[in-house]
Amino acid sequence: MTRTAGHLARRGFLGFGAGALAACSLPGTGEPPRLFTLTPKSNFASDLPRADWQLAIEAPVAPGGIDTTRIAVQRSPLTLDYFARAAWTDTAPRMVQTLLLESFENTGKLVAVGRESSSLRPDYLLKVDLREFQAEFRGAAAPVARVRLSVRLVRLPERAVVASFSHEAVEPAASAEIDKVVAAFDDALGSVLRRVAEWTLRTGTSRPRA
């Protein structure tokens, strides 16, 4: 994960200084953004079952406000802004898909796992909704990072939904500086990745397949 100090500013809010909240600067103006990425999960429950099936992961569906490379932040339930001069290395849905894939690989429990568009002949498809992926200020100096994934496990080739699952994690940032906010995102997403991977493996292996 990138660890660089950041300076944030919010349009219309003076006196915040380094680490304050802001809308993203216009493309092509000002300094280039610092790029940040997150990490896959590598630690899982020791009793995870070994699967004899293959899994494809669909690209997550996400609201337009977070289907972007910009790092979203909310100061109120009715507003959405972005951190200035900071961005993810990919759009949030594509980054989450990659990290899901790597997390499943790190379990060491699947025959094969890949993207839906890969050459796999999967037994299951994981359909993913990225519902929340933003920092939120709750009247404190530092925000929290909120991440929520809703997934459906679909049996192939009949495309029957086997089960669905949703998990949300909220992690406080140590400060409003961008590196601390990204660290909170990494902790929150890591919790969600672990729960989704463990649920998928247990659910898939517990269901009879044709």
Average pLDDT estimate for 133-152? 95
Query: What was the pLDDT predicted at 139?
Result: 85
**Phi (first) and psi of residue 102, to 5 degrees:** -65, -35
Q: Which tens digit of pLDDT belongs to each residue from 17-26?
A: 333 344 344 4
Q: Does domain 50-206 have CATH number 3.40.50.10610?
A: yes
What predicted TM-score, i.e. pTM, was given to this entire model? 0.84
**Cβ atoms of residues 93 and 131 within 8 Å:** no
Which region among 8-12, 51-55, 127-131, 168-172 has the lowest average model confidence (pLDDT)?
8-12
Q: Kindly list the domain boundaries of the chain, sorted by start residue.
A: 50-206
Query: What was the pLDDT predicted at 20?
Result: 37
Query: What was the pLDDT predicted at 22?
Result: 41
Q: Which tens digit of pLDDT belongs to each residue from 26-56?
A: 455 567 899 999 999 999 999 999 999 999 9
Q: Which tens digit of pLDDT belongs to each residue from 77-109?
A: 899 999 999 999 999 999 999 999 999 999 999
Q: Which residues contact 101 (CB under 8 A, 6 or more apart)?
A: 57, 113, 114, 115
Give the length of the chain. 210
Query: What was the pLDDT predicted at 117?
Result: 77
Q: Is the dihedral of CA 178, 36, 43, 209 positive or negative?
A: positive
